[in-house]
Structure 1
């Protein structure tokens, strides 16, 4: 007689088992790519120290990068639906490798500016294709877990890459560009060799961004995502400024406290992702948004590294709860032949937040810590409420 225990999946089997091989190629490529993500976080330092640009000139160049990023997601979404997920993803990685090296060897302001614009256009252009691939390859029940695993890989790779990037920068900035370029090429090769093309047949493809923009449920969800992105983007824009300028923390204390975010995600998320995947996605996302909002609101009271660490734990718990959920909701909302475009609009919300977060956040911070962080908390809670309001319609769409 077979034991009932024999029928149960192992602990790690329940976390990572049951997903197709092409997904794991995409997962491995995402991990390698984020391990090599070193150039963008160190761009400001590179432009001012290695290329001798003034702070004003560096700011202009980084603004141009932001313009490219705004165009990136919508353009890549169209390409993912028209020429295919695999071609778009691999092509964007090849273009990223080329633009990385072009930027690394550019010495004049015009050349640097053009390279930065192209880099902004292509460096994250893989995201709509990646989202569409997961939706194409994975069943609806498994999508939250699959997206959560991708989120985990990206965070793990980014954490290690940032540490290694600091060491490589000391040896010479050009090493950052080569490491980033090689990791992009590895991602492109993995996808091209191990991931099939999943785009629907051309005879079934119809519609365009007009269809996406007329989808009121998708527009509502995109606004929720924009609220989430606006709050979260403060972690690497205004939060460091506020903690060092107003709370009196040293950069070392700030870095040590912020390391908690990556550690908690890497350790905790794999333990809870399959359990969270079985919950209602809309309610889970709303809960995570509310917890994140609470964590950022508590930042108004930070006066020491310990207090900052406590707030980081709170909003990281919210981040862990939300991991993978938005991608699963997006996949449920999008028609199969328009998944690239829907993912492009989703990514566009994050690009807009990257522009708005420092612009509006700096003005709020000028009014004081309370104005800044209570506003962020309010945006988080408002986004959670909006998500709950959309939940019934999302459940109806998902059931079809």
Structure 2
């Protein structure tokens, strides 16, 4: 299905909405089904996201699977997992283009079906070339739903409600993932095959929910040609925002790459990292729903800058932590910053993007996370080798710089949103 392009008729104003989009967001029948100020289709997306995250059991344990079940060395497993990162770099721009070209529903459902098939292929493949190929494909498809999901929310939800909607999705992801970490570790004791099946089945459930219960919302652009990815790259404000987010992801993802290494390097047992990170999941599940409505009434750029600064400050405090309790306290600090950022970046991207380019804009934003996922461990481990204080103080300083950059972009973002 290609992007439909209609020439404007005389006396007829241009529109960027499809009939399905109007049906999903503006008809009286649909309005009657709204729950809590958000449309029913959003709650379907919310439920599917929660189910999908409840089944996210393969990614957290993939390193253990490769070394224990497939007998790979640590070096070989690291190289295999790098192919996953390469695939994720390709994933977001391609999925963003597909969301604009083929539609949000088709892209999200297709990505979930492809992920389910790849999960099962990876779970039953024993050859090294097969595992490498499956990991590369998995990197491409596993998060292909994100640009489509982000664009769906922008299509379905008013600008005033978007921070709350994106925040709710953030909460669903963290709640589901927290439960999946516990149940996945328990199920892995009886074999890894069941993890691949659970992950595959929950992906299929998510895709089926979207296909059956969410109408297509892809806007139609009534111009001579559809938008291109170069249109996104020529938007200097969006590119600047993405670069700032790349700096933030580099800071934030140290918590998942170098933090466990820093803790074990001080002689703490591996379980200490799990105890400290449990604070992160607990605070998000408890605090984020309480603050979601309040954050929705704040200026997104200022609130996002505050959150980035708190994350940077919290990670900088890691330089003085020496015990499990001390690390847990620093986790609590930067988690509060993470809660402040929840949903705001997606809302800003939606306000910057023309309706017909929402998928591509979300794809470029997602690319900053994929790139950060590759850069954080590569540079972070080298800084940690120089000294833990060097790593954490530089990370904290970069967080403050990113926050200042976000504040500087604020006026331009507000002007764009007002238009």
**TM-score band, normalised by shorter chain:** over 0.9
2:170 equivalent to 1:151: yes
Do 1:230 and 1:357's aligned partners in 2 also have CA atoms closer than 8 Å?
yes
Q: Following superposition of structure 1 onto structure 2, how do residues 1-400 of structure 1 map, counting pairs within 5 Å?
A: 17-201=36-220, 203-204=222-223, 206-245=226-265, 247-400=266-419
TM-score by length of 1: 0.95
1:195-241 residue CA offsets vs partner (Å, 9 max, x unmatched): 11000126456221111111000011001111111111111111100
Corresponding residue for 2:27?
A: none
Quote the offset at 1:253 in angstroms.
Answer: 2.0
Moved over 6 A (4+): none
1:16-55 residue CA offsets vs partner (Å, 9 max, x unmatched): 7110000000000000111111111111100110011122
Distance 1:91 1:202 in 2: 23
Distance 1:202 1:258 in 2: 45
Secondary structure at 1:390's aligned position in 2? helix
Quote the offset at 1:345 in angstroms.
Answer: 0.3
RMSD between aligned alpha carbons?
A: 0.9
TM-score by length of 2: 0.91
Distance 2:319 2:359 in 1: 39
Unaligned runs of 5+ in 1: 1-15
Unaligned runs of 5+ in 2: 1-34
- Count of matched residue pairs: 384
Do 1:81 and 1:337's aligned partners in 2 also have CA atoms closer than 8 Å?
yes
Do 1:248 and 1:303's aligned partners in 2 also have CA atoms closer than 8 Å?
no
1:335-356 residue CA offsets vs partner (Å, 9 max, x unmatched): 0000000000000000000000
Quote the offset at 1:59 in angstroms.
Answer: 1.4
Quote the offset at 1:373 in angstroms.
Answer: 0.3
Quick one: structure 1 residues 392 and 202, their matched pair in 2 at CA, closer, same or farther if it must change by over 3 Å? closer
Do 1:67 and 1:120's aligned partners in 2 also have CA atoms closer than 8 Å?
yes
